[in-house]
């Protein structure tokens, strides 16, 4: 099992009961990587998760906080100013959104081999990290 960086959307699906197949896949994928010490994410992902599930999924803030506490037992990337500058450069060079560039840079900094996300082209390599949409690929774990 390779170290994998989890984008916010995958963690949100782990709590989205409206899409049970994705919910099960996201939950099992993250839990398996976490159990083996092979899950990575960033402070940005934790913040986006909390804001989104409390607003869009109407999840109780105390439950969402507990989930953030669980997620934070993964390898958490914490940025410095140089990382923000690197993400800005990535944004400028690729034309991806600045927020997506922060995710890609965090995945790269974490040392992850994989970036689990729905927001990037499946199979592409960004910053040396292979993008895997875990909801379409049977080889993504």
- Starting at the edge strand found earlier in the chain, the sheet holding 39-42 runs 75-77, 39-42, 4-6, 114-116, 129-132, 125-126
pLDDT reading at 140 higher than 60: no
- Per-domain residue ranges for the chain? 4-129
How many C-beta atoms lie closer than 10 Å to residue 66's C-beta?
Answer: 11
Give the pTM: 0.93
How many C-beta atoms lie closer than 10 Å to residue 4's C-beta?
Answer: 29
CATH of 4-129, one of 3.90.1150.10, 3.30.70.20, 3.40.50.150, 3.40.50.1010: 3.40.50.1010
pLDDT reading at 137 higher than 90: no
Q: 27: closest CA among 6, 3, 45? A: 6
How many C-beta atoms lie closer than 10 Å to residue 85's C-beta?
Answer: 12
pLDDT of 80-105, one tens digit each? 999 999 999 999 999 899 999 999 99
Q: 73: closest CA among 24, 35, 112, 115? A: 35
pLDDT of 16-68, one tens digit each? 999 999 999 999 999 999 999 999 999 999 999 999 999 999 999 999 999 99
Rounded distance between C-alpha atoms, residue 110 and residue 78, angstroms: 9
Least reliable range by pLDDT among 57-71, 105-119, 124-138: 124-138
| pLDDT band for position 127 (cuts 50, 70, 90) | confident
CB-side neighbour CA atoms (13 Å) of 30? 28
pLDDT reading at 139 higher than 70: no
How many C-beta atoms lie closer than 10 Å to residue 30's C-beta?
Answer: 23
């Amino acid at each position: 099992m390779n170290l994998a960086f989890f984008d916010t959307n995958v963690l949100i699906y782990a709590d989205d009961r409206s899409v049970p197949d994705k919910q099960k896949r996201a939950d099992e994928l993250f839990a398996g990587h976490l159990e083996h010490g092979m899950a990575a994410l960033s402070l940005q992902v934790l913040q986006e998760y909390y804001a989104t599930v409390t607003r869009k999924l109407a999840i109780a803030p105390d439950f969402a906080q507990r989930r953030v506490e669980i997620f934070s037992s993964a390898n958490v990337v914490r940025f410095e100013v140089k990382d923000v500058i690197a993400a800005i450069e990535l944004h400028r060079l690729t034309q991806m959104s600045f927020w997506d560039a922060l995710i890609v840079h965090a995945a790269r900094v974490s040392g992850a081999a994989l970036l689990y996300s729905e927001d990037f082209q499946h199979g592409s390599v960004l910053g040396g990290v292979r993008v895997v949409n875990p909801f379409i690929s049977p080889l993504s774990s």
